[in-house]
Chain A
Amino acid sequence: MFARAKCDFLRSHKPIPRDAIPSTIYTAADIKTFGATGAARMDLQHRNNVKVMGDGPSTLIFSHGFGCDQSMWRYLAEGFTDRFTVVLYDLVGAGESDLEAYDREKYNSLAGYARDLNEIIDHYARGPVIVVGHSVSSMIGTLADRQAPGSIAAHIMIGPSPCYIDTDDYVGGFKLEDIHSLLDILDSNYLGWSSTMAPVIMGTPGQPALSEELMNSFCRTEPDIAKQFARVTFMSDNRQDIVGLATPTLILQSTDDLIAPLAVGDYLHAVLPNSTLCLVANVGHCPHMSSPSACSEAMENFLSPWIGEHVN
């Protein structure tokens, strides 16, 4: 029976609908061996450097923010692999994604990234999907939800902001010239970009000796791509898309975050009807790195409806 099912899947060239995979029969490892939609998954894997961990009945997809890659989830994601299928990926243009796949037209708006996220959901997720998005990826998750309603069961938004620039009575925290100043910084780091990303070449105190190869793999960014992504991110206004989104949403709001100030968290909580606003005592825009335990605690509470029994 098992072998037969496997062949059927190989023959069909369409993505397997998630509902068609009874979690009681197949494990995530099985799905991985199937190569469900063989080539399409291979392409996605290559394009977005997709990593799958764990085999829980629900799926957590972690989507990183501007300036980094999936390695920023290292302090947070592993804590969920025992109960969830955990999917990590790099946005195209970031980390170890396929730079050849970077299409300036497609990624000239967040909608292009949202399409990619939906493809990853189609090919890798099992059971209900919870998208954990940091910063701009919260909006990518929102757009993916709008593009394919029902595909996402819940959102966890870490430091989200639907619009960075102040307009009328909306407080985003920035003025247009601030964003231009960022683009200028990105420009002026252009020549030394690779070294910008490198650590100090010396025995890094208090850290295990990392090989140079490993060190340079963090948050690699192509300067031209980083500039476009910065523009797309910080010039975007997704308030139309976020208002009224009924999907259950947890907003993880740092108490002191330059990029996503408290007022923005309040705004989102007000316009998202099924949202929970959780303040995390944290300075900076990356609470999942600087305060991972506070984040995972809040996530555990929120995720309880989707936490399943360990399958094995």
Chain B
Amino acid sequence: MSTDQPLLPDNQMLFDEAPCGLVVTKEDGTILRSNQTFSHSIGLDAQALIGRRFQDLLTMGGRIFHQTHWSPLMQMQGSVAEVKLDLVHHDKHIVTMLLNGVRREHASGAFYELALFGTKDRDKYERELLNARKVAEDLLREKTAAESALRQAQAELKSAYEEAQLRASFAEQMVAIVSHDLKNPLTAIKMASGILAREERTTRESKMLGHISQSVNRAERMIADLLDLALARVGQGITLSPSTVDLHAFVGASVDELRMTFPEATLVHQTVGTGNACLDADRVQQIIGNLVANSVAYGDLQQPITITSRVEQDHAVVSVKNQGPVIPDSLMDVLFEPMIRGAKTGTDSRSVGLGLFIVREIVRAHNGVVSVNSTPESGTTFTATFPMV
């Protein structure tokens, strides 16, 4: 007969030393019995626990939770599982435990049988998870808010841009319409003053008629510029009628005309190389006119203005150079934009600030490029380069 069969501990011992806290209470929570494991975990003698209410061992929050949540549930569903509770240890520190509870009916009423497991590390881990979740939720909220702010800003920007476009387009159309409509009255004024000038006039009258004629010419140039702006901006762009011309001869003729217009300036024409170019001669003449007019307006008239025409293998170049103040850096980037003017504008300003814009548009229409170089040593040079077709 075997004698080394291990003896099973008796029931009392199994209860007392079970690897979890065990508590039996009345329905109102009064403790009837608890095991040693539970006693140890909250630092109170099992005997001292009898008669106390289980819920009184909880933190205040735990007691409210007990009253509002798991007590009603124990009654309705007869058991609860994995409820996390904070108990207050005899020495006042908090012991976090997981509770499983069962309501057991007896003839005389019902008992609650509770099993409690320490869950310190698990609780710590869960709180870390919870914090991480909160951080993630906060970040998500921030991100959502930022995105929504961004969307709103974009929408505002878009609507502001559309409004600006609309206004600009309206303004440009106005320019086109007004400048076109101004042409007719100007023509009438010009014709009438021409007829008046044919007859015998006093010196004073002739002088006044000369003023009228000059003013009309200036107004016509301005209108031509405005119409070019309107064409470039609103219409299909500046259109060209190119033809093959002898570059030097054509530039030379333009310079001769400009000498009449600007008698106060000294215009010098230089040529490099020889050959033909395929250009819209009227438009290129307009370029030279605008550049020379700028030189007259902003340059030093004591020094000559040099117009150079150069024929190379691949392209034709026309440049206008003057001495005088350097174009400030702040102006360089916007020099070719409409409505930009140099610093020194006399009272006799002949343009509305469209000269260089039109120069650029005409050069572009030729698939060419325009550039500027302005230094105190070598003066200011505008260069228009046209490809040979």
Contacts and interface: CB of A to CB of B under 8 A. Distances in A.
Interface of A: 65-68, 71-72, 74, 135, 174-175, 177-192, 195-202, 204-207, 210, 215, 218-219, 234, 256-259, 283-286, 289-290
A127 B63 CA distance: 40
A66 B72 CA distance: 11
B72 A183 contact: no
B62 interface: yes
A206 B103 contact: yes
Given A191-B126, A206-B104, A286 B67 contact: yes
B67 A283 contact: no
A196 B82 contact: yes
Given A206-B105, A259-B67, A259-B68, A181 B79 contact: no
Contacts of A197: 73, 80
B127 interface: yes
A142 to B, nearest CB: 19
Given A178-B60, A185-B59, A190-B130, A207 B82 contact: no
A207 B67 contact: no
A286 B72 contact: yes
Contacts of B71: 284-286
Contacts of A201: 81
Contact of B82 (A183, A192, A259): A192
Contacts of B161: none
Contact of B130 (A175, A181, A187, A289): A187
| Residue from A186, A187, A210, A284 having most chain B Cβ neighbours under 10 A | A284
Interface stretch (B12-20, B83-91, B260-268, B320-328): B83-91
Interface of B: 27-29, 53, 55, 59-65, 67-73, 75-86, 96, 100-106, 110, 123, 126-127, 129-130
A66 B29 CA distance: 20
Contacts of B81: 195-196, 198-201
A291 to B, nearest CB: 10
B252 to A, nearest CB: 83
A163 B85 CA distance: 25
A218 to B, nearest CB: 5
A108 to B, nearest CB: 17
Closest 5 CB pairs of A and B: A181-B61, A206-B105, A67-B68, A283-B28, A182-B61
A283 B66 CA distance: 12
Nearest to A208: B78
Nearest to A68: B72
A66 to B, nearest CB: 5
A6 to B, nearest CB: 39
A68 B62 contact: no
15 contacts: A67-B68, A68-B68, A72-B72, A185-B85, A185-B86, A188-B127, A188-B130, A196-B70, A196-B81, A198-B80, A198-B82, A210-B78, A218-B73, A256-B28, A285-B71
A178 B28 CA distance: 22
B92 to A, nearest CB: 14
Nearest to A65: B68
Given A74-B76, A195-B81, A200-B79, A219 B101 contact: no
A40 B86 CA distance: 45
B76 A258 contact: no
A219 B82 contact: no
A195 B82 contact: yes
Contacts of B77: 199, 204, 207, 210, 215, 218
